[in-house]
């Protein structure tokens, strides 16, 4: 089944989730926070995403030591407090962005200033199916360009 925008010939913009996965985050203390310089760099990056019109959502997460996991065995829940030693990678935050294509999402991911705080780690990018996608003209930049001609 085609999305209504596709039937009208308007290209749909894909959404991507960028997951920030710094190596060693599993050992972070419950009250661990980035230093002021890192926070300032993050704010500048977040503003650049917003000004470019690609940012839909973002947030940071507390370290795994503050988390808990609910697992199920035989249909019964079991709660385990973090950290989770068996997990090799831990999510520190996420961004949901709307880009023309995967190449653009990779360009944005490469600019994340907290991407492992200069240490080892990675940014994982995943397409997000099933969201109500906007057409180019639904974006602020698209509306401005269609008005200008």
Q: Around Cβ 67, how many Cβ atoms within 10 Å?
A: 16
- Contact between 34 and 45 under an 8 Å Cβ cutoff? The reply is no
| pLDDT score, position 49 | 94
Does residue 25 carry a pLDDT above 60?
A: yes
| pLDDT, mean of residues 104-109 | 90
Does residue 107 carry a pLDDT above 60?
A: yes
Does residue 87 carry a pLDDT above 80?
A: no
| pLDDT, mean of residues 33-41 | 84
What is the side-by-side strand order in the sheet with 55-60? 55-60, 93-98, 15-22, 121-127
The CATH code of the domain at 14-148 is: 3.30.70.1060
| pLDDT score, position 131 | 55
Q: Which CA distances in Å does 79 have to 51, 67, 72, 82?
A: 41, 10, 9, 10
Does residue 2 carry a pLDDT above 70?
A: no
The pLDDT > 90 percentage for the chain reads 20
pLDDT in tens, 41-62: 889 999 999 999 999 999 988 8
| pLDDT, mean of residues 68-83 | 89
Domain boundaries, the chain: 14-148
d(CA 92, CA 29): 13
| Stronger pLDDT, 88 or 123, i.e. the higher one | 123
């Amino acid at each position: 089944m085609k999305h209504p925008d596709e039937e009208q010939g308007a290209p749909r913009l894909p959404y991507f989730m960028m997951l920030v996965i710094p190596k060693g985050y599993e050992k972070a203390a419950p009250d661990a926070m980035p230093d002021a310089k890192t926070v300032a760099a993050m704010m500048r990056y977040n503003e650049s995403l917003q000004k470019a019109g690609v940012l839909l959502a973002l947030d940071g997460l507390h370290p795994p030591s503050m988390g808990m996991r609910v697992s199920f065995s035989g249909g019964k829940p079991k709660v385990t407090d973090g950290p989770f030693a068996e997990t090799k990678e831990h999510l520190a935050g996420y961004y949901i962005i709307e880009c023309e294509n995967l190449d653009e999402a990779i360009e944005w991911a490469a600019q994340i200033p907290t991407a492992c705080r200069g240490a080892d780690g990675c940014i994982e990018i995943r397409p997000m199916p099933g969201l109500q996608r906007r057409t180019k003209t639904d974006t602020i930049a698209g509306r401005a360009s269609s008005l200008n001609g």
